[in-house]
């Protein structure tokens, strides 16, 4: 059905009906339909018997279509065929629920394909205006808004929030977890390890003579060393292990489902790989590693044990792994 096919009297009645419906829909949801959207208003009128849609030009102009692009009469399927595949079923369910009188209004947000192939976001709200003697929907009318910019703004804010969260948890130099984040991860692992893992171990790694590197070669070279070491550790640990920069030249590695024997093996792999790696600008690099396993204690106690073993590794010559027990 198209407006051009209506008589003058019928057209006036339709316009008056739509105006009343618009006011009703605005009143029912005035917190959502803001004044700033009023310029985007498009209207539609659906005949369930014929399956035809009447509309004002703005609804299709928003999508870049001209009247020549639209079939006449306009089947409901013309618009539903443009709905994004991921949104199609929710839209149709929403409409069916309202047709079956399960909801007071038909209200949904969805993406719809424009003529240029891109998708726009629509907010669609309407209601059945006439039912037959069996309470079956006969006619419905509604209003539609282009909320694309609103959705883009929302998505941008979500991405910015994710970025801020990531930045707050990430060491800006190495890209791995920072001290706060790795300690939070360790705390969570400790709380859940009895249910999720049989064992839990940690490694505390420190770059040997790192101060001399900064003093002799400068902080830019020192930063490169920190980045390279973090990359080596990340490459050698498993997907469910976690590494973070604990502070300065110290790194903390969390090894779930790992007993002392396997923690020692993991630490040795890291130590040997770093010792064998050629670093730009410096001749040789080694690390000392202390490890320990969790035995139902506080996070401070667990880290202190690993730290004491790290101190012992340094005290007894560096470039070695010390654990308790081995």
Which residues are designated catalytic? Answer: 249
Distance (Å, whole) CA 65 – CA 81: 15
CB contact at 8 A, 49 and 128: no
Find residue 255's DSSP bridge partners: 201
Q: Which region holds residue 4: left if phi is over 0, alpha if psi is between -120 and 50, else beta?
A: alpha
Distance (Å, whole) CA 35 – CA 65: 26
Parallel, antiparallel, or unpaired: how do β-strands 287-293 and 321-324 relate? parallel
Q: How far is CA 2 from CA 58, 77, 79, 140, 178, in A?
A: 14, 15, 14, 15, 63
Buried b (16+ CB within 10 A) or exposed e, 199-236: bbbbbbbbbbebeebbeeeeeebbebbbebbbebbbeb
H-run or E-run covering 59:
helix 57-61
Secondary structure of residue 253 in the 3-state scheme: strand
- DSSP output for 167-235: HHHB-TTTSSB-HHHHHHHHHHHHHHHHHH-S-EEEEEEEETTHHHHHHHH-HHHHHHHHHHHHHHHHH
């Amino acid at each position: 059905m198209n407006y051009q096919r209506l008589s003058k009297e019928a057209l006036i009645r339709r316009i008056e009906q739509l105006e009343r419906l618009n006011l009703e829909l605005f009143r029912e949801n005035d917190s959502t339909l803001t004044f700033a959207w009023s310029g985007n208003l498009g209207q539609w009128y659906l005949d369930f018997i014929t399956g035809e849609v009447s509309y004002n030009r703005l609804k299709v102009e928003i999508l870049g279509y001209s009247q020549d692009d639209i079939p006449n009469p306009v089947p409901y399927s013309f618009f539903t065929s443009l709905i994004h595949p991921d949104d199609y079923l929710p839209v149709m369910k929403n409409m069916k629920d309202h047709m079956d009188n399960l909801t007071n209004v038909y209200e949904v947000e969805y993406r719809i394909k424009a003529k240029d192939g891109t998708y726009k976001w629509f907010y669609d709200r309407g209601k059945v205006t006439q039912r037959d003697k069996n309470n079956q929907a006969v006619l419905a009318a509604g209003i539609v808004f282009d909320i694309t910019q609103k959705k883009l703004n929302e998505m941008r804010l979500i991405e910015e929030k994710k970025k801020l969260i990531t930045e707050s948890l990430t060491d800006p130099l190495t890209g791995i977890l920072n001290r706060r984040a790795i300690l939070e991860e360790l705390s969570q692992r400790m709380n859940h390890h009895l249910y999720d893992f049989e064992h839990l171990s940690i490694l505390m790694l420190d770059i040997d003579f790192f101060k001399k590197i900064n003093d002799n070669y400068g902080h830019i070279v020192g930063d490169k060393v920190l980045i390279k070491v973090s990359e080596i550790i990340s490459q050698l640990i498993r997907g469910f292990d976690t590494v973070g920069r604990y502070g300065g030249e110290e790194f903390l590695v969390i090894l779930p489902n790992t007993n002392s024997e396997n923690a020692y093996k993991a630490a040795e792999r890291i130590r040997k790989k770093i010792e064998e790696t050629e670093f730009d600008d410096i001749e040789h690099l080694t690390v000392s590693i202390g490890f320990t396993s969790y035995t139902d204690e506080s996070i401070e106690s667990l880290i202190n044990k690993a730290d004491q073993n790290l101190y012992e590794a340094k005290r007894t010559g560096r470039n070695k792994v010390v654990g308790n027990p081995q």
